[in-house]
């Protein structure tokens, strides 16, 4: 069985390697043996190898992988939620392995006819976009929201969900090449980050969704209405958020952090099942979709990680354990 792991904290494409081990396929009564079909490389995976992720430092050597999509091979004696051949999304981490043993409470069954590459990204980014838009401030049809890193996986799900809810999005990106795609997805306004004059935002917004952090947060927070909210969910700049205290005191602007892991910890199994059933239906209806830059075979994990880490990509980087699965999706 192939698996990806790392022995040292450091540069992801240098530290991550593919290794082969045998799996003991004997299952406990509530366990399920699954075969991983596809996994995406997310910024959180890279942060973990760099030693910058929010979880405790991993015990080394460590497995990795925030999400994947898999097929059920075998179930333990008392398993009721899934059966062989079902398509499942594990709620556990460490998913970059060909085969995994997962308890049934940590598996979400998804419709077998879902696009498997899109489903490999179901756990993290669509749920992040959905929970941010639905749980922090009341947004009504016609309201405007502002977000940066708008061409990221999360950013494009925010655009698509907002369009579905009839909420307008003002989207900040750092590259001109992304404008056409985002317009096609339903972005109402797109702004290039490096423009000197950002007066193009005429009406103030209730919500600014930030994935970057750093000093620019203050600039974009100037477009918030009094009592407006910033939700920060990413640290792409690697810099601390800066915000002028005048905005916090005299305009009552508030800053909240979002971390999906904390949300999933406090949700019951049925809440998680309902959330992911809803999101997978939206994927199947083509309301939600993410662009794929390239699908790599796991043997090329270092190349795949390097491509993912360089950003300025044309979509997500996906990895497959079987070459024949790649052919089906390109």
Binding site for ligand NAP (CB under 6 A): 42-44, 124-125, 128, 149, 151-154, 174-175, 211-212, 233-237, 258-260, 311-312, 316
Measured CA to CA, the distance from residue 177 to residue 254 in angstroms comes to: 33
Toward ligand NAP, which CB reaches closer, 149 or 301? 149
Toward ligand NAP, which CB reaches closer, 81 or 123? 123
Measured CA to CA, the distance from residue 169 to residue 144 in angstroms comes to: 6
Toward ligand NAP, which CB reaches closer, 15 or 151? 151
Smallest gap from residue 64 Cβ to ligand NAP (A): 14
First-to-final CA distance of the chain:
25
Smallest gap from residue 262 Cβ to ligand NAP (A): 8
Toward ligand NAP, which CB reaches closer, 6 or 157? 157
Toward ligand NAP, which CB reaches closer, 258 or 321? 258
Single out the residue of 151, 148, 87 nearest to residue 120, CA to CA: 87
Measured CA to CA, the distance from residue 316 to residue 295 in angstroms comes to: 9
265 φ, ψ (degrees, to nearest 5)? -60, -35
Smallest gap from residue 69 Cβ to ligand NAP (A): 16
Question: What does each C-alpha distance from 239 to 52, 128, 209, 214 come to in angstroms?
Answer: 12, 21, 16, 5
304 CB contacts (<8 Å, ≥6 apart)?
A: 41, 294, 296, 317, 319
């Amino acid at each position: 069985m192939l698996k990806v792991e790392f022995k040292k904290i450091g540069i992801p494409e240098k530290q991550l390697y593919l290794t082969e081990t045998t799996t003991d396929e004997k299952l406990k009564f509530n366990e399920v043996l699954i075969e991983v079909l596809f996994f995406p490389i997310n910024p959180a995976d890279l942060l973990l190898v760099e030693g910058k992720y929010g979880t405790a430092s991993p015990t080394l050597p460590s497995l990795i992988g925030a999400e994947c999509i898999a097929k059920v091979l075998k179930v333990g004696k008392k398993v009721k939620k899934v059966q062989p051949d079902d398509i499942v999304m594990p709620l556990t981490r460490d998913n970059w392995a060909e085969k995994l043993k997962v308890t049934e409470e940590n598996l979400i069954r998804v419709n077998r006819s879902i696009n498997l590459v899109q489903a490999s990204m179901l756990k993290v980014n669509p749920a992040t976009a959905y929970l941010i838009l639905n749980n922090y401030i009341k947004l009504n049809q016609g309201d405007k929201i502002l977000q940066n890193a708008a061409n990221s996986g999360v950013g494009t799900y925010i655009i698509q969900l907002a369009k579905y809810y009839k909420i307008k999005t003002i989207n900040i990106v750092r590259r001109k090449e992304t404008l056409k795609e985002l317009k096609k997805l339903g972005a109402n306004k797109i702004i290039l980050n490096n423009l000197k004059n950002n007066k193009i935002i005429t009406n103030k917004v209730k919500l600014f969704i930030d994935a970057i952090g750093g000093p620019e947060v203050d600039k974009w927070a100037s477009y918030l209405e009094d009592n407006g909210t910033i939700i920060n969910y990413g640290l792409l700049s690697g810099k601390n958020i800066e915000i002028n205290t005048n905005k916090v005191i005299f305009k009552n602007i508030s800053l909240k952090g979002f971390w999906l892991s904390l949300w999933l910890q406090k949700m019951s199994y049925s809440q998680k099942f309902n959330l992911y059933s809803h999101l997978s239906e939206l994927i199947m209806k083509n309301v939600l979709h993410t662009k794929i830059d390239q699908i790599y075979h796991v043997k090329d994990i270092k190349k795949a990680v390097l491509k993912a880490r360089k950003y300025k990509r044309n979509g997500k980087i996906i990895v497959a354990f079987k070459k024949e699965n790649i052919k089906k999706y390109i």
